[in-house]
Structure 1
Amino acid sequence: MNLPPARRHLSLACALLLPGLAFAQSPPATRSLPVVEVEAARVTGIDPFALPSSSDTVWIDDDRSGPQAQLAEALGGIPGVLARDRQNLAQDTQLSIRGFGARSTFGVRGVRVLVDGVPATMPDGQGQLSHASLLGAERIEVLRGPFSALYGNSSGGVLQVHTAQGREGDPWRLRLNAGADNTLSVGAHLRGVQGPVDYNVAANHFRTDGWRDHSAARRESLNARLGTAVGEDRLELLVNYLDAPNAQDPLGLTRAQVAADPRQATAVAHQYNTRKSVRQSQAGLVYSGQRAAHRFRLTGYAGQREVTQFLAIPPGPQANPLHAGGVIGLDGDFGGLDARWGWNGELAGRALDVTAGVNADRQRQHRTGHENFVGDQLGVRGRLRRDQRDTVSNVDQFVQAWWQWSPRWSLLAGARHSSVRFRSEDHYIVGRNPDDSGSRRYQATTPVAGVSFEVTPQWRLHAAVGRGFETPTFNELGYRADGQAGLALGLSAARSRNVEIGSKWQAQDGRRLEVSLFRADTDDELAVASNTNGRSTYRNIGRTRRQGAELSWHQPLAQDLDLQVAWTWLQAEVRSAYLACAGSGCAVPDTPVAAGSRLPGVPRQQAFARLEWQPRDWLWAAEVTGSSDTVVNDLATERAPGYAVMNVEAARRWTLRGGDLRVFARVDNLLGQGYIGSVIVNDGNGRYYEPGPDRRGSLGVQWSWR
Structure 2
Amino acid sequence: MKKIIYLLILLSNSIYSQVFIYPDTLKYEMNQITVSATRYPENIIEIPYAVTLINEKSLMNLRGYGLDEILTSVPGVLAQTRAGNQDIRLVIRGFGARGAGDRSNYGTTRGIRIMVDGIPETEPDGRTSFDLIDLGAVDNMEVIRSNASAIWGNASGGIVNLSTIPSSNNYNLSIKSLSGSFGFYGFQTKAVTPITYGKIFATLTNTNFSGWREHSSSYRTLFNFGITSNIEDITKFSVLVLAGSNLFHVPGPLTKKQFELNPQQANAIYSQRDERRHNRLGRIGFTIEHNFDEANQISGMLFASPKFLQRSERGTFRDFTRYHIGGNIMFKNNSKFSNELKNHLIIGIDEAYQDGAILFYSLSSTNQRGSVLRANKREGANNFGAFIQDEIIFNEKISFIAGLRYDNITYYSEDFLISSYGLQSKSFSKLTPKFGLTYRFNQTQSIYANIGGGTEVPAGNETDPSSTYSQDQIYLLNPLLEPIISTTYEVGTKHLLAVSNSNLLKTASIDVAGYYIDIKNDIIPYRGGRFYFTAGKTSRIGIELGAELEFEQGISLKGAFTYSDNKYNEYLVDSVHYFKPNSFANYKNNTVAGIPRFFYNIGLSFQPKFLKDFFLNFSLNSVSSYFVDDANKIEVPSYFVFNSTIGINDFISITDKLKIRGFLTINNLFNTKYAASAFINPDIVNNEAIYLEPGLPQNIVISASILFE
User: Scaled by the length of structure 1, what TM-score is found?
Assistant: 0.89
Check conservation: 2:677, 2:694, Cα contact below 8 A.
yes
Q: Residue 516 of structure 1: which of 494, 513, 517 is its match?
A: 513
Q: Residue 326 of structure 2: which of 336, 353, 375 is its match?
A: 336
Deviation digits for residues 30-64 of structure 1, max 9, x if unmatched? 84436342111226453211211100001123872
Q: Percent identity?
A: 21
In structure 2, distance between residues paired with 1:561 and 1:413: 42
Q: Do residues 554 (structure 1) and 556 (structure 2) align?
A: no
Question: Which residue in 2 is equivalent to 1:419?
Answer: 408
In structure 1, distance between residues paired with 2:708 and 2:60: 17
What is the Cα deviation at residue 167 of structure 1? Answer: 4.1
Question: Which residue in 1 is equivalent to 2:6?
Answer: none
Deviation digits for residues 599-624 of structure 1, max 9, x if unmatched? 11100001111111223110110100
Q: Do residues 442 (structure 1) and 428 (structure 2) align?
A: yes
Question: Which residue in 1 is equivalent to 2:9?
Answer: none
Q: How does 1:44-193 map to 2 (within 5 A)?
A: 44=40, 46-61=42-57, 64-87=60-83, 89=85, 92-104=87-99, 105-106=104-105, 107-165=108-166, 167-193=168-194
What is the Cα deviation at residue 28 of structure 1? Answer: 12
Check conservation: 2:527, 2:576, Cα contact below 8 A.
no
Q: Residue 648 of structure 1: which of 627, 644, 650 is its match?
A: 644
Check conservation: 1:628, 1:643, Cα contact below 8 A.
yes
Q: Residue 396 of structure 1: which of 355, 375, 385 is its match?
A: 385
Question: Which residue in 1 is equivalent to 2:351?
Answer: 360
What is the Cα deviation at residue 277 of structure 1? Answer: 0.7
**Matching residue's letter, 1:492:** E
Check conservation: 2:193, 2:200, Cα contact below 8 A.
yes
What is the Cα deviation at residue 553 of structure 1? Answer: 0.9
**Matching residue's letter, 2:461:** N
- More displaced stretch, 642-651 vs 102-111: 102-111
Check conservation: 1:66, 1:177, Cα contact below 8 A.
no
What root-mean-square deviation, in Å, do the aligned CA atoms of Structure 1 and Structure 2 show? 2.4
Deviation digits for residues 556-612 of structure 1, max 9, x if unmatched? 1224321111100011110013126449x9999965142110111100001111111
Question: Which residue in 1 is equivalent to 2:12?
Answer: none
After superposition, the Cα gap between the structure-2 partners of 1:196 and 1:507, relative to the gap in structure 1 and judged at 3 Å, is closer
Q: How does 1:224-373 map to 2 (within 5 A)?
A: 224-231=225-232, 232-245=234-247, 247-290=248-291, 291-313=293-315, 326-347=316-337, 349-373=340-364
**What is the SS of the residue equivalent to 1:242?**
strand
Check conservation: 2:382, 2:410, Cα contact below 8 A.
yes
In structure 2, distance between residues paired with 1:419 and 1:250: 38
Q: Do residues 464 (structure 1) and 478 (structure 2) align?
A: no
Check conservation: 2:110, 2:128, Cα contact below 8 A.
yes
**Matching residue's letter, 1:521:** D
Q: Residue 394 of structure 2: which of 385, 390, 405 is its match?
A: 405
In structure 1, distance between residues paired with 2:155 and 2:40: 25
Check conservation: 2:66, 2:84, Cα contact below 8 A.
no
**Matching residue's letter, 1:337:** G
Deviation digits for residues 205-237 of structure 1, max 9, x if unmatched? 001111110011110001122112333312110
**Matching residue's letter, 1:119:** P
**What is the SS of the residue equivalent to 1:271?**
helix
In structure 2, distance between residues paired with 1:252 and 1:425: 33
Deviation digits for residues 388-439 of structure 1, max 9, x if unmatched? 1112112111111111134532101111110111111110128xxx526421
Check conservation: 1:171, 1:704, Cα contact below 8 A.
yes
In structure 2, distance between residues paired with 1:498 and 1:276: 36
**What is the SS of the residue equivalent to 1:135?**
helix
In structure 1, distance between residues paired with 2:166 and 2:345: 26
In structure 2, distance between residues paired with 1:570 and 1:507: 28
In structure 2, distance between residues paired with 1:498 and 1:43: 20
After superposition, the Cα gap between the structure-2 partners of 1:385 and 1:665, relative to the gap in structure 1 and judged at 3 Å, is same
In structure 2, distance between residues paired with 1:586 and 1:502: 50
After superposition, the Cα gap between the structure-2 partners of 1:157 and 1:589, relative to the gap in structure 1 and judged at 3 Å, is farther
What is the Cα deviation at residue 274 of structure 1? Answer: 1.2
Runs of 5+ unmatched residues, structure 2? 1-17, 499-505
Deviation digits for residues 661-680 of structure 1, max 9, x if unmatched? 11210001101111110111
In structure 1, distance between residues paired with 2:701 and 2:355: 41
Deviation digits for residues 492-542 of structure 1, max 9, x if unmatched? 1110111001122221453111211101111110131122xxx73211132
**What is the SS of the residue equivalent to 1:132?**
coil
Q: Residue 523 of structure 2: which of 526, 539, 555 is its match?
A: 526
**Matching residue's letter, 2:411:** F
**Matching residue's letter, 1:345:** S
User: Scaled by the length of structure 2, what TM-score is found?
Assistant: 0.89
Check conservation: 1:409, 1:454, Cα contact below 8 A.
yes
In structure 1, distance between residues paired with 2:561 and 2:344: 33
**What is the SS of the residue equivalent to 2:136?**
coil
In structure 2, distance between residues paired with 1:587 and 1:649: 57
What is the Cα deviation at residue 306 of structure 1? Answer: 1.5
Runs of 5+ unmatched residues, structure 1? 1-23, 314-325
Question: Which residue in 2 is equivalent to 1:502?
Answer: 492
Question: Which residue in 2 is equivalent to 1:672?
Answer: 671
Check conservation: 1:530, 1:587, Cα contact below 8 A.
no
